[in-house]
Amino acid sequence: MNRDMQEPVNYRSCMQNRELSWLKFNQRVLEEADCPDTPLLERFHFLSIFTSNLDEFFMVRVGSLIDYMLFSPDYYDNKTGMTAAEQLSEIYRACIPLYVLRDGSFARISGELSAAGISYVRMGELRKIEEKLVEDFFAREVMPVLSPQIIDQSHPFPHIGNKQLNIAVTLHQQNNTVFGIIPVPSAVRRVFTVDPSERRFVLVEDVILHFAGRVFEKYRVSEKAVICVTRNADIDTDAGLLDEDTDYRQHMKKILKKRLRLSPVRLEIQGEMSEEAQKYLRSKLGLEKAQVFRSCAPLDLSYCFGLDARLPYDMKRTLLQTPFTPQPSSMVNPDVSIIQQVLRRDILLSYPYESMKPLLNLLREAATDPEVVSIKITLYRIARQSTLAEALIEAAENGKDVTVLMELRARFDEENNIEWAQRLEEAGCQVIYGMDGFKVHSKICLITRRSKGEIQHITQIGTGNYNEKTAKLYTDLAILTSNRNIGADAAAFFMNLSISNLDGSYHDLWVAPANFKESILRLTDGEIAKAKEGRPARIMVKCNSFTDKDIIERFVDASRAGVEIRLVIRGICCLTPQIPGLTENIQIISIVGRFLEHSRIYAFGVGDETRVFIASGDMMTRNTERRVEVACPIYDPNIRKRLLEMIDVMLRDNVKAREQFSDGRYILRTPLGAPALNAQEYFMQQAKDAAAHPDWKNEPAPRNERKFLGWFRRNPKK
| Segment 195-215, tens digit of pLDDT | 988 899 999 999 999 999 999
- Averaged pLDDT for residues 408-429: 77
441, 507, 598, 693: the catalytic one is: 441
pLDDT at 251: 44
pLDDT at 293: 98
Residue 163 backbone phi and psi in degrees, to 5: 60, 20
pLDDT at 708: 52
pLDDT at 413: 60
- Going by DSSP bridges, is the β-strand pair 538-543/564-569 parallel, antiparallel, or unpaired? parallel
Degrees, nearest 5: CA angle 303-305-311: 105
pLDDT at 235: 61
Residue 55 to residues 162, 268, 277, 566, Cα–Cα distance (Å):
10, 11, 23, 31
Instruction: Kindly report, residue by residue over 681-695, the tens digit of the pLDDT.
Output: 999 999 999 999 998
- 652 touches 591 (CB < 8 A): no
Cβ atoms within 10 Å of 422's Cβ, excluding its own: 13
Domain covering 338-507, topology: Endonuclease; Chain A (3.30.870)
Ramachandran category for residue 216: left, alpha or beta (phi over 0 → left; psi -120 to 50 → alpha): beta
pLDDT at 444 over 60: yes
Say how many residues make up the chain: 718
Q: How far apart are CA 650 and CA 591, in angstroms?
A: 8
Categorize the per-residue pLDDT at 704 as very low, low, confident or very high, splitting at 50, 70 and 90: low
- 224 touches 167 (CB < 8 A): yes
* Nearest residue to 212 via CA among 263, 174, 166: 166
pLDDT at 3 over 70: no
- 69 touches 335 (CB < 8 A): no
State the CATH architecture for 39-319. 2-Layer Sandwich (3.30)
The yes-or-no answer on residue 441 being catalytic is: yes
Report the 3 state secondary structure along 170-193: EEEECCEEEEEEEECCCCCCCEEE
pLDDT at 646: 98
Pick from 11-15, 328-332, 399-403, 708-712: least confident: 708-712
pLDDT at 491: 97
Instruction: Kindly report, residue by residue over 259-312, the tens digit of the pLDDT.
Output: 445 899 999 999 989 999 999 999 999 999 999 999 999 999 999 999 988 888
Query: pLDDT over 90 for what percent of the chain?
Result: 80
Instruction: Output the CA torsion sign for 467, 473, 475, 480.
Output: positive
- Averaged pLDDT for residues 630-653: 97
The CATH H-level (homologous superfamily) assignment of domain 511-669 is: Endonuclease Chain A (3.30.870.10)
- Averaged pLDDT for residues 628-648: 97
- How does DSSP classify residue 354? B
Instruction: Kindly report, residue by residue over 578-633, the tens digit of the pLDDT.
Output: 999 999 999 999 999 999 999 999 999 999 999 999 999 999 999 999 999 999 99
Q: How far apart are CA 423 and CA 391, in angstroms?
A: 12
- 317 touches 327 (CB < 8 A): no
- 604 touches 618 (CB < 8 A): no
Instruction: Kindly report, residue by residue over 28-43, the tens digit of the pLDDT.
Output: 999 999 999 999 999 9
Q: How far apart are CA 119 and CA 133, in angstroms?
A: 16
Q: How far apart are CA 717 and CA 365, in angstroms?
A: 9
Q: How far is CA 16 from the centre of its chain?
A: 22
Average pLDDT of every residue of the chain: 91
- Averaged pLDDT for residues 90-104: 98
Would you kindly state where each structural domain of the chain is located, as residue ranges? 39-319, 338-507, 511-669
pLDDT at 4: 54
Residues 6+ apart with CB under 8 A from 685: none
Better pLDDT: 621 or 241: 621
Categorize the per-residue pLDDT at 245 as very low, low, confident or very high, splitting at 50, 70 and 90: very low
Q: How far apart are CA 389 and CA 427, in angstroms?
A: 11
- What is the model's pTM? 0.91
Categorize the per-residue pLDDT at 717 as very low, low, confident or very high, splitting at 50, 70 and 90: very low
pLDDT at 376 over 80: yes
39-319 and 338-507 have identical folds: no
Instruction: Kindly report, residue by residue over 520-560, the tens digit of the pLDDT.
Output: 999 999 999 999 999 999 999 999 999 999 999 999 999 99
* Nearest residue to 360 via CA among 462, 485, 432: 462
pLDDT at 252 over 50: no
